[in-house]
Amino acid sequence: MPLALYALAAGAFGIGVTEFVIMGLLLDVSADLGVSISAAGQLISGYALGVVVGAPLLTIATGRWPRKTVLLALMAIFTAGNLACALAPDYWTLMGARVLTAFAHGTFFGVGSVVATGLVAPNRKASAIALMFTGLTIANILGVPFGTWLGQAFGWRATFWAVTLVGVVAFTVIFFLVPRAKAAPEKSDLRTDLAVLGRPPVLLGFATTVLGYAGVFAVFTYIAPILTRISSFPEAAVSPILLVFGGGLIVGNLIGGKAADRWLVPSVLGSLVVLALVLGAMTFALRGQVGAVVSIGLLGAAAFATVAPLQMWVLEKAEGAGQSLASSFNIAAFNLGNAAGAWLGGVVIAHGPGLGAVAWIAALLPLSALAVAALALRLDRGPALGQPVSARS
């Protein structure tokens, strides 16, 4: 794999740490800024909203720029946003800085996916996307725990200073290692890009992403109370178990990328089936501690096994003009799924049937995504189900 892909992974690492590390620092932030824990929790929602809104806006605004220039501008926004977080004097300044930082998220992964696929042979495109997303998985397994420890030991602002430094490093390696990308096609304009988004297979691809990832976050958002109240683990055991989840993310990400390179459509459908089965089985596995740890690892693997296939599928449906915009919209769809899943899990817990039912209800979401994907295949008279990607290139 080209070194440029590792530069993209460095940017993905920084973005992943910024998105998730705040979860471990809510108590510190709320105490320091004098706000409630629930108000501090809205910093997570604000970030997600920034991703959903910022992805299409920045992608449209930079549509005619060379893609390397776009990536460098996004890392500059990311770095400036984290610097503003570290210096934020009050809650609302911190919220604004979080939203600013989030604006870089969706477009970076969207444009980065297009750049990554252009760096490798046609039969390795999904693996290239998976390698870039490895930065996000490593952020979860290493960066977030370290950032949480740093913030708890030296103050939450220290974490954002550290991530600002990561942004500087990522900007530098992208500048030196990513080749000068070509500008967007001359004939590309907003009208043609939006026309791509209006294609039924593309829209259904977005819906598949939202539903599939909503299933993951319906459970993962509430993983701490699930492990402590259902599996009877002490609170101190939650962090080590999440390392198992992070290991699953890395394995599933790489497997999903390699599978999608060879059999794209079966990878999309198969990964959704596996995700539904894992979520359904968790309902029973969580009753025992060994089963809980195994199922958490499998959930991580199943969750990220869907990422590269879904991202590659949308890119193929949006081939030509509008690829960057469609790719960024799909990243926004992942985040919309995160928010929807967290909301659904909360409803199940608060209004019944309760915490123990979250997993099997979550399993219905990837099954719904599977139905949407099947509909997209019927509408799109594309390649046969078993046709390799290389044969379609």
Query: From the CB of residue 17, how many other CB atoms can be counted at a distance below 10 Å?
Result: 28
Q: What is the rounded average pLDDT for all residues in the chain? A: 85
Average pLDDT over residues 279-286: 94
How big is the CA angle at 363 (ends 357 and 365), to the nearest 5 degrees?
115
Average pLDDT over residues 279-306: 93
Rounded Cα gap, residues 224 and 23, in angstroms = 12
Residue range of the domain that includes 93? 1-184
Does one domain contain both 198 and 172? no
Rounded Cα gap, residues 150 and 58, in angstroms = 32
| Total count of domains within the chain | 2
Average pLDDT over residues 187-205: 74
Does one domain contain both 72 and 200? no
Query: What is the C-alpha R_g of the chain?
Result: 20
pLDDT range class, residue 218, cuts 50, 70, 90: confident
In the chain, % of residues over pLDDT 70: 92
- In the block, which residue shows the tokens 């046709």? 387
pLDDT at 277: 97
Query: Given 164, 184, 204, which residue is the final one in a domain?
Result: 184
Does one domain contain both 148 and 230? no
pLDDT at 183: 47
Does one domain contain both 131 and 210? no
pLDDT range class, residue 201, cuts 50, 70, 90: confident
Helix axes 238-262, 289-305, angle to 10 degrees: 40
For the full predicted model, state whether its pTM sits above 0.85. Answer: no
- Residues 188, 74 contacting (CB under 8 angstroms): no
Does one domain contain both 164 and 295? no
| Token pair for 379 | 């509408």
| Token pair for 285 | 């596995």
Q: Which residues contact 335 (CB under 8 A, 6 or more apart)?
A: 48, 51, 52, 105, 106
| Token pair for 273 | 């089936």
Does one domain contain both 24 and 172? yes
Query: Given 163, 184, 205, which residue is the final one in a domain?
Result: 184
Rounded Cα gap, residues 27 and 380, in angstroms = 49
Rounded Cα gap, residues 278 and 359, in angstroms = 9
pLDDT at 361: 94
- What is the tens place of the pLDDT at every residue in 246-258? 889 889 988 988 8
Does one domain contain both 131 and 192? no
Please give the single-letter amino acid code of residue 152: Q
The DSSP line for 20-68 is: HHGGGGHHHHHHHHT--HHHHHHHHHHHHHHHHHHHHHHHHHTTTS-HH
User: What are the distances in angstroms from CA 176 to CA 4, 242, 326, 368, 392?
Assistant: 9, 34, 27, 43, 33
Average pLDDT over residues 273-302: 94
- What is the tens place of the pLDDT at every residue in 145-182? 888 889 888 999 999 999 999 999 999 999 999 988 55
Closest CA to 42 of 339, 300, 259, 271: 339
| Token pair for 22 | 């705040």
Does one domain contain both 386 and 248? yes
Does one domain contain both 169 and 205? no
Query: From the CB of residue 224, how many other CB atoms can be counted at a distance below 10 Å?
Result: 16
The DSSP line for 327-350 is: HHHHHHHHHHHHHHHHHHHHHHHH
- What is the tens place of the pLDDT at every residue in 332-341? 888 888 878 8
User: What are the distances in angstroms from CA 195 to CA 46, 175, 188, 190, 298?
Assistant: 29, 32, 11, 8, 38
- Residues 9, 132 contacting (CB under 8 angstroms): yes
Does one domain contain both 208 and 169? no
Rounded Cα gap, residues 100 and 82, in angstroms = 9
Which domain CATH number covers 341?
Answer: 1.20.1250.20
| Token pair for 221 | 């958002």
Does one domain contain both 200 and 330? yes
Rounded Cα gap, residues 108 and 354, in angstroms = 37
Query: Given 184, 212, 246, which residue is the final one in a domain?
Result: 184
Does one domain contain both 54 and 81? yes
| Token pair for 363 | 């399993």
Q: In the predicted model, is pLDDT for residue 313 greater than 80?
A: yes
- What is the tens place of the pLDDT at every residue in 85-119? 999 999 999 999 999 999 888 889 888 888 888 88
